[in-house]
Structure 1
Amino acid sequence: MAASLLSSLRVLRAALSPPKVPLATGVPWLGRCRYLGSSQRLLGVPPLKVVMPALSPTMEKGNIVKWLKKEGENINVGDALCEIETDKAVVTLDSSDDGVLAKIMVGEGTKDVILGSLIALIVAEGEDWKQVEIPVHTSPPPPSQTASAPMEVVAPQAPVLSNVQHVPSKREIRLSPAARQILETHGLDPSRFAPTGPRGIFTKEDALHMLKQKDATTLPRTAASAPMQAPVKSTQATPTTPGYPRPSIPPISIPGQPLTPGTFTEIPASNIRQVIARRLIESKTTIPHSYASIDCNIEQVLKMRKQLAKDNVKISVNDFIIKAAAVTLKQMPDVNSIWSSEGPHQLGSIDIAVAVATDRGLMTPIVRDAATKGVEEISTLVKALAKKAKTGKLLPEEYQGGSFSISNLGMFGISGFSAVINPPQACILAIGQSRQDLTVSEDDKGKPSLCQKDMMTVTLSSDGRVVDDELASQFLENFKLNLENPKRFALT
């Protein structure tokens, strides 16, 4: 009985044992087990690509400010990988996968990284991150590269049978306005030079580079041919030159023509500056601006500030202005609107965008649901948003959107100004400096007397398609009434 059982166990073990494969014709059983396992490296799974994301609706390229992880460091979902400067602020890019940061493709300080470009590679935990396979193509080609690339025309060496020849036209090359003016002024052909601008655009720098090449090739020929020309005698009187000719160093700029290289200093524009420029052009060329101003008495606001300061509550005049504007928008919902391609849209939430001056340009963080917040809460929120705006730490949801904007230049000594509307919003309120005006008032007995009042001028810029002049006048009247009586909304 025991012998038969032992024989059965031997047969079963022989059946389950791996076949012996010669080393010359195959791989050992252990090696094949590892190959069929879950190891991504042995299965040939490619590394995870981290590309430049679109962190704002208007973003086309970004700058790598700082890497927060090093190569070979473990990464978990939600960990901060790097800081990216967009056209609005500096945003932290978080990881969406676990693994190991194998390779940083774009180093710190790199600017103008196109969306979709490869910036890093991540491999699974346990993989040899030093042996990561780097893809050949690390950046996407521009969308219009095929259409905008200059075509070379080769002169035929033999008779051409067809009379139709393809000659590249100017329509195939996208020119910037400055480049077009330089090319037309100096008669240059852009098809002989490869454009370097984004999406295949022929930029001003490309045109200036072509102009320098033309001057470099023209000057030697002129100098060489000068001795070959014989002097020509003329009986006509030559115009006399002035005694003190205008110096040519620095180069002379001709009115109506592009500036000569050397007469100006090129200042690189940041992403934020470029976006601000585009939005200003869009606003002034597509929005019919209307302007209306009114003077407001802020004596009650200043008195309330002093009373709150005694209780260690520090509130600025601008905080009262934000609250007064929000209350007025709640009373007049027609002004709380934006303009779209389909027409005006009235918004249900009152979100006030407050202009904040930073080193990189003007930012507009937003106070959400400002009508439901008290002045003290608004003051705390505005201080926090302004600090984040100046350090470039604003999140996209903290500056995108908004139904109404306020720009205050009173702290800079500006008595009054007209602001540019921030599309698609319909209005922006410009605040000037407070001043003391002498006015005539009557006492209880009807005796006139001179007194000083603290006044402030505010100017409303409105989109005539959404807010007409009558509606704008009513808004300013209600705003003045609310601001001059701050007790009604001060701490509500």
Structure 2
Amino acid sequence: MAFSCVRRLWLCATLRVSHAGLQGSLSMSRKPSPAARLLLASHGLQAEALQPTGRFGVLTKEDVLKAIALKPGSSLPSRSPAISQPPVPASGPSVPESLPHTQSPLPRKKPVIAPVYPQKAGKAMYTDEKISAEKRSIACRLGQSKNSIPHEYVSALCQVDSVLSLAAQLGKDGVQVSIGDFIIKAAALSLKTVGFAESGGVDVAVTMATPDGIVSPVISRVGSRGLLDIATVTRELADRARQGKIPPKECEGGTFCVSLLDSLAVSYCTSIVSVPHPLVLSVGSTSSRILPAESAGHEGGGINDDWEAESRMVHCKLLNVTLSCDATRMDAERAGQFLKNFRYNLEQPLRLLL
């Protein structure tokens, strides 16, 4: 017991001596800090001639600045008394008058100016608009349809040079028929081809914008109507839709829905299938492309030589259409067959005049 107490006292004394020797060696090291080392090098001072005040004998930046503030040739006292400095003005630190002209003042930091953003005094930067009952109903119905109905999407590119040429020729004769009227007629005939609807019994809903949202008035028996009759009904519905005079009764039913987005310069779009329309055809705007004559649907052989490539390239107008369908009513194979027939009917517009 006595031996363990003596051993413990001897270890404590050894550690105390080692700690004192370590502090003594550190206090005599005069190792400068990085900032102090930079000031010593820039002003040509020696670390051995200065008295460190930092922890463990580290020469700090304040020690070097005190030495710089003294006159050249004067030795530092072992313990310098505290020097009272006058308050620094707002413009920045000034150089004491006792310093020679050869010593430059410390660099001044540029003031940081906070950016000023324009604000309207007393006015909000936005306007809250209330959602109408029609828009709220449309959003709820589309959300329920997207979550409960399995969707299939099929897209195709249709060349519409012949349709545009025929519509322009009819316009010169006073018959105003748009490309949308050709699309509605071609869609009705294509539904009959795939066996989705009976001949003449296709009711097509056309999406139109109103001040309160989107409505889809129905054009009945499109298959048995002519292009001029379809054009007249479509223009009359569009005028009433802009005035908000489409009653909900005219939007009921419909075998098929066509969403015409060509006026909005939309090249591609996929619509959400909503009850009661199991099929929705989204039609974008036309785009110009340069294609080989064979792939563009023109007569003639393929491109065999490089020098013939330029002479067989043609400028075409293409239309991107996307069919969104309820997978329980029409699968992807039948949807592809529908687009194939739709493309053929649209690229041969004379068939739509029969």
TM-score, scaled to structure 2? 0.59
State whether residues 200 and 221 of structure 2, in contact with CA within 8 Å, keep that contact through their aligned partners in structure 1. no
State whether residues 289 and 462 of structure 1, in contact with CA within 8 Å, keep that contact through their aligned partners in structure 2. yes
Structure 1, unpaired ranges of 5+:
1-261, 337-345
Distance across 1 between alignment mates of 2:171 and 2:177:
8
Question: How far off is 1:349 after superposition?
Answer: 2.7
Give 2:154's match in structure 1, choosing from 292, 297, 308: 292
Distance across 1 between alignment mates of 2:300 and 2:192:
36
Question: How far off is 1:394 after superposition?
Answer: 2.1
Question: How far off is 1:265 after superposition?
Answer: 6.3
What is the aligned partner in structure 1 of residue 276 from structure 2? 424
What is the aligned partner in structure 1 of residue 221 from structure 2? 369
Question: How far off is 1:421 after superposition?
Answer: 1.2
Q: For 1:472, what is the secondary structure of its paired residue?
A: helix
The 5 A counterparts of 1:183-262 are: none
Distance across 2 between alignment mates of 1:450 and 1:264:
52
What is the aligned partner in structure 2 of residue 382 from structure 1? 234
Q: For 1:489, what is the secondary structure of its paired residue?
A: helix
1:394 aligns to 2:246 (yes or no): yes
- CA 1:348–1:381 in 2, change beyond 3 Å: closer, same or farther? closer
Give 2:187's match in structure 1, choosing from 325, 337, 357: 325
Distance across 2 between alignment mates of 1:487 and 1:298:
13
1:276 aligns to 2:138 (yes or no): yes
Distance across 1 between alignment mates of 2:228 and 2:218:
16
1:434 aligns to 2:297 (yes or no): no
Q: For 2:277, what is the secondary structure of its paired residue?
A: coil
The amino acid that maps onto 1:354 is V
1:357 aligns to 2:219 (yes or no): no
State whether residues 347 and 403 of structure 1, in contact with CA within 8 Å, keep that contact through their aligned partners in structure 2. no
User: What does the per-residue CA deviation read over 1:229-284, in whole Å, with 9 as the maximum and x for residues that have no partner?
Assistant: xxxxxxxxxxxxxxxxxxxxxxxxxxxxxxxxx99965322121111111111111
State whether residues 254 and 276 of structure 2, in contact with CA within 8 Å, keep that contact through their aligned partners in structure 1. no
The amino acid that maps onto 1:484 is E
User: What does the per-residue CA deviation read over 1:76-101, in whole Å, with 9 as the maximum and x for residues that have no partner?
Assistant: xxxxxxxxxxxxxxxxxxxxxxxxxx
State whether residues 260 and 283 of structure 2, in contact with CA within 8 Å, keep that contact through their aligned partners in structure 1. yes
Distance across 2 between alignment mates of 1:440 and 1:327:
29
State whether residues 279 and 325 of structure 2, in contact with CA within 8 Å, keep that contact through their aligned partners in structure 1. yes
The amino acid that maps onto 2:139 is A
State whether residues 405 and 422 of structure 1, in contact with CA within 8 Å, keep that contact through their aligned partners in structure 2. no
State whether residues 365 and 386 of structure 1, in contact with CA within 8 Å, keep that contact through their aligned partners in structure 2. no
State whether residues 407 and 430 of structure 1, in contact with CA within 8 Å, keep that contact through their aligned partners in structure 2. yes
Distance across 1 between alignment mates of 2:225 and 2:200:
16
Q: Which has the higher strand share?
A: 1
Distance across 2 between alignment mates of 1:283 and 1:465:
13
Distance across 2 between alignment mates of 1:383 and 1:436:
27
Distance across 2 between alignment mates of 1:348 and 1:315:
20
State whether residues 305 and 315 of structure 1, in contact with CA within 8 Å, keep that contact through their aligned partners in structure 2. yes
Q: For 2:293, what is the secondary structure of its paired residue?
A: strand
What is the aligned partner in structure 2 of residue 193 from structure 1? none
Distance across 2 between alignment mates of 1:306 and 1:264:
45
1:407 aligns to 2:270 (yes or no): no
1:452 aligns to 2:315 (yes or no): yes
State whether residues 418 and 461 of structure 1, in contact with CA within 8 Å, keep that contact through their aligned partners in structure 2. yes
State whether residues 270 and 322 of structure 2, in contact with CA within 8 Å, keep that contact through their aligned partners in structure 1. yes
Q: For 1:293, what is the secondary structure of its paired residue?
A: strand
Distance across 2 between alignment mates of 1:271 and 1:347:
38
Question: How far off is 1:333 after superposition?
Answer: 2.8
TM-score, scaled to structure 1? 0.43
Distance across 2 between alignment mates of 1:264 and 1:381:
40
- CA 1:313–1:275 in 2, change beyond 3 Å: closer, same or farther? same
Stretch of structure 1 that moved more, 284-293 or 393-402: 393-402
Distance across 2 between alignment mates of 1:263 and 1:286:
39
Distance across 2 between alignment mates of 1:391 and 1:438:
41
Distance across 1 between alignment mates of 2:300 and 2:340:
27
Q: Rg larger in 1 or in 2?
A: 2
Q: For 2:286, what is the secondary structure of its paired residue?
A: strand
What is the aligned partner in structure 1 of residue 15 from structure 2? none
The amino acid that maps onto 1:305 is A
What is the aligned length?
223
Question: How far off is 1:452 after superposition?
Answer: 0.6
Percentage of matched positions with identical amino acids: 36
- The CA RMSD over aligned residues, in Å, is 2.6
What is the aligned partner in structure 2 of residue 466 from structure 1? 329
What is the aligned partner in structure 2 of residue 163 from structure 1? none
Relative contact order (alpha carbons < 8 A, sep ≥ 6): 1 or 2 greater?
2
Structure 2, unpaired ranges of 5+:
1-123, 303-307
State whether residues 270 and 282 of structure 2, in contact with CA within 8 Å, keep that contact through their aligned partners in structure 1. yes
